[in-house]
Amino acid sequence: MPEDNEKNEQKALRRKLCSYVFATCVTISFYFLLRNSRSVSMALNHVNKVIQPILIGFVMAFLMNPIMAFFEKRLYMPFSLVCKTDNGVRKASRALSSIISLVILTGVVMFIIASILPNLFNTILYLANHIEEQIAGVLDWCNDITKGQYEEVLMKAKDNNIGDLVDQGLVLADQYIDYDTTDMMSMITSSVLSVGKFIVNIVIGMFVSVYVLMSKETFKAQAKKLVCGLVAPRYSNIILEITRKSTEIFYGFIIGKIIDSIIIGIICYIACLIMSMPYPVLISVIVGVTNVVPVFGPYIGAVPTVFIVFLTEPVKGIYFLIFILILQQIDGNIIGPKILGGSTGISSFWVVFAVVVGAGFFGIGGMIIAVPIVAIIHYIVGRAATYLVSKRNLPRDTGEYILMDYIDLATNKLVKREDKAFKRTNLNFHLKKNK
């Protein structure tokens, strides 16, 4: 018995020592990152540029996987009549379904680009060439709406040469923007090279995405084998469970948000046709694409679309603004919850928090992926808190802690405070019920 106690004390001492060493290493690493944040940022940017084709391939494979799974199930039977072995059937159906999913994804992206860019360019060009007419039309509309109460002010603004004001603004901007012709050519050349390199990376990413989908089971098996080899079985199960939950959250949110945005874009296009709105394809694509961004996406898409419609036809611009507000309420309260369900499992506060922080660090892409990342962190922290309180024989249910005041050290029970508002609400409810 004394020997066992001594061994237990040694194990406890080793654990404490390991935890202290780990905490020290984390602290030193964090200090090093803060002290050399600029160098670390440059190193991460360089790594990102190097592995960009691989990252693009993984993102494409992530989006293609549901499409591939859909076609793979339906191509299995036809290939089973041609191929002799089950392995050959699986490889053939997987290869063809991967290519089909790549073609569909590429076609959707090309359709969006082809719908937005030409229309956007033509709209900007038209508004730039007819800006005086557009503003004059808006001022006439304002005069009609106000029934001539501000006619003198509006007509004075209309009679001013708007073109001269625009030219003066350009001259003023030119005074503050100092640029050299050589620098401008260098910037244009650099931009063209960057676009060309990005296109090459996308092409490489297409091949990577197909290879990833072809061997996704092998990659999963290798990762699981590595986890089981490095970590004890108890912790391996925890890591695998968190991984499964993370995949579920990512797929549930990202794929659900894409489906939701497609539905919103289609509804917007049909409504624009019914209301005879200008530029229905451009407006619908902008509304649908920006809807992918949580919380702020609908408002980001509403600003340019309402502005474009309002400059073209002011009355329809107001109608379109009302329609967008109604559409976003329907999406936020009916369509979105039906599709997304409880895929993230976090409150509205954490969604806003994730979007703001993600936008600050990683821009538009960060606004999209930050929500599932925060949901995963929320899930891990919640599981850890549940595990820790269960070790202390405390309630696992979070609701038990809402009215908690302190823990009774003698009984190890939660002592709840008297919530007068809560009691009053319950009392009114029972009185109404008895009546």
Domain extent listing, the chain? 231-391, 397-435
For 29, phi and psi rounded to 5 degrees?
-65, -45
93-105 as b/e: b if 16+ CB within 10 A? bbbbbbbbbbebb
Query: Which residues are bridge partners to 415 per DSSP?
Result: 406
Dihedral-angle region of residue 276 (phi above 0 means left; psi in -120 to 50 means alpha; beta otherwise): left
User: How many whole angstroms separate alpha carbon 119 and alpha carbon 107?
Assistant: 18
How much is the average pLDDT of 390-410? 82
CB atoms within 10 A of CB 240: 15
Residue 156 predicted with pLDDT over 70: no
Contact 252, 343 (CB under 8 A): yes
Question: Taking a C-beta distance cutoff of 8 angstroms, is the pair 63, 105 a contact?
Answer: yes
pLDDT at 364 over 80: no
Checking phi first, is residue 349 left (phi over 0); if not, alpha (psi -120 to 50) or beta? alpha
379-387 long-range Cβ contacts below 8 angstroms, 24+ apart:
379/242, 379/245, 379/249, 379/345, 380/242, 383/242
- Exposed / middle / buried, residue 181 (Cβ in 10 Å: 0-12, 13-18, 19+): exposed
Dihedral of CA atoms 211, 215, 221, 222 in degrees, nearest 10, equals -40
Residue 232: left if φ>0, alpha if ψ -120 to 50, beta else—which one? Answer: beta
Banded pLDDT at 34 (limits 50, 70, 90)? confident
* Percent of the chain whose predicted confidence (pLDDT) is above 70: 78
DSSP state of 404: E
Per-residue model confidence as pLDDT tens digits over 229-275: 888 888 888 888 888 888 888 888 888 888 888 888 899 889 988 98
Using CB atoms within 10 A of its CB, is residue 208 exposed (0-12), middle (13-18) or buried (19+)?
Answer: buried
